Amino acid sequence: MRILGLILLIVIFGCNNSNNEQGNLKEPSNIDSLVAFREKAYLSDTTNQDIKQKYIEALLKRGNQKIKDFDMTTAYRDAAKAFRLDSSSFDVRMLYADALSNKYPRSREDILSARRHYEYLTVKNPASAKAFVGLGSTFNLEHESDYEKAINNADNALKIDKRFMDAYVLKGSTYLKLGNMKLAKSSYETAIQQDKTFHLGYIMLGALYQSENDQICIQYFQSAVELKPNDAETLFSLAYAQQIFGQPEKAMLTYRKMIKLKQLNYQAQALNQLGVIKQHNFNQLDSAIYYYNSATQSDSTLVEAWHNLGTCYESQKDLSAAMRAYGRALHFNPEFELSRKRADVLKYAR
């Protein structure tokens, strides 16, 4: 019995010492490490409510951040874990609903489930503008669209908080789907007035004005670049607008900034567009060929670059080289009609 008692003391002391060591360790600042740290602590003592709550808070923090970062896989995983741990929490249910509605790919059942959660949240807290916007967003998605209800819920959110940016974003996206460009632009304009750092708002406004052939789009893309100067997609939006609205020199500078980022997909696109400018704006075919070849070296599957290369060779009367270039384009995309037509023309011309 004395031996058994000694063993129990050792076990108890060892467990307490382990828990103390975990509690005394400094928590990491990195969110992924923090989640792992608190998950380990929770799994070592699932009955400790303080540890459980800290773990849930870490999941909430990372889950919400991942939604902002468009990492929906991690967001959904964190939300599901948090919801299983505490389905009574308003914030946890909100994250879970957000994760369901933004899930990719998402099913009709995901949307309906998100809607049920948002409806519950609007009842539980009728003063939550975020809950009403979330509910409205489920009527703005595939499978279950009802644009009138989407706008009505956005308006309900604005009755609670007239400066709630997400409500204007919801209205903007809904009006866009309805084809009402004027109200879509107005809604996005109001959204960026509420938050001058709303990067996507500038991108959307730039795209809308560009679709209307209005070069004011350049100003919106420039504002977006100021917010995210190292984002290749944003730089491409600006460069392409500069290119099509008669600013080829500025466009070339912007494309070169993209190339320096060394993001292969966008690097190839930038090189291809530099070739387009050299070919069509300055009639410098040798330079254009250099850029098109560089683009295909960066991404051998970029059919547009292969096709453009073929047109340059045609202009130089090098029909064999042109056929090879068109052949490469069709190799990667047999349905690429532009190259198919040129290849057919050259086939019968030889």
The phi, psi pair for 336, rounded to 5°, reads -75, 100
Nearest by Cα to 246 from 284, 277, 212: 277
pTM: 0.85
Per-residue tokens: 217: 């789009």
Q: What is the residue type of 37?
A: F
Residue 321 CA to residue 336 CA, distance in Å, equals: 18
The pLDDT score that the predictor gives to residue 143 is 78
Packed helices 72-85 and 90-101: angle between N→C axes, nearest 10 degrees: 150
For residue range 205-215, what is the model confidence (pLDDT) as tens digits? 999 999 999 99
What CATH number does the domain located at 262-350 have? 1.25.40.10
For residue range 77-103, what is the model confidence (pLDDT) as tens digits? 999 999 999 999 999 999 999 999 999
Q: What is the residue type of 14?
A: G
The pLDDT score that the predictor gives to residue 5 is 45
Packed helices 165-178 and 181-194: angle between N→C axes, nearest 10 degrees: 170
For residue range 336-347, what is the model confidence (pLDDT) as tens digits? 999 999 999 998
SS3 of the chain? CHHHHHHHHHHHHHHHHHHHHHHHCCCCCCHHHHHHHHHHHHHHCCCCHHHHHHHHHHHHHHHHHHHHCCCHHHHHHHHHHHHHHCCCCHHHHHHHHHHHHCCCCCCHHHHHHHHHHHHHHHHHCCCCHHHHHHHHHCCCCCCCCCHHHHHHHHHHHHHHCCCCHHHHHHHHHHHHHHCCHHHHHHHHHHHHHHCCCCHHHHHHHHHHHHHCCCCCHHHHHHHHHHHCCCCHHHHHHHHHHHHHCCCHHHHHHHHHHHHHCCCHHHHHHHHHHHHHHHHHCCCCHHHHHHHHHHHHHHCCCCHHHHHHHHHHHHHCCCHHHHHHHHHHHHHHCCCCHHHHHHHHHHHHHC
Sign of the CA dihedral with 166 first, then 195, 204, and 213 last: positive
For residue range 20-51, what is the model confidence (pLDDT) as tens digits? 445 556 899 999 999 999 999 999 999 999 99
For residue range 164-190, what is the model confidence (pLDDT) as tens digits? 999 999 999 999 999 999 999 999 999
For residue range 260-271, what is the model confidence (pLDDT) as tens digits? 998 878 999 999
The pLDDT score that the predictor gives to residue 144 is 77
CB 304 within 8 A of CB 272: yes
CB 55 within 8 A of CB 41: yes
Cα–Cα distances in Å, from 40 out to 37, 48, 52, 61? 5, 13, 11, 17
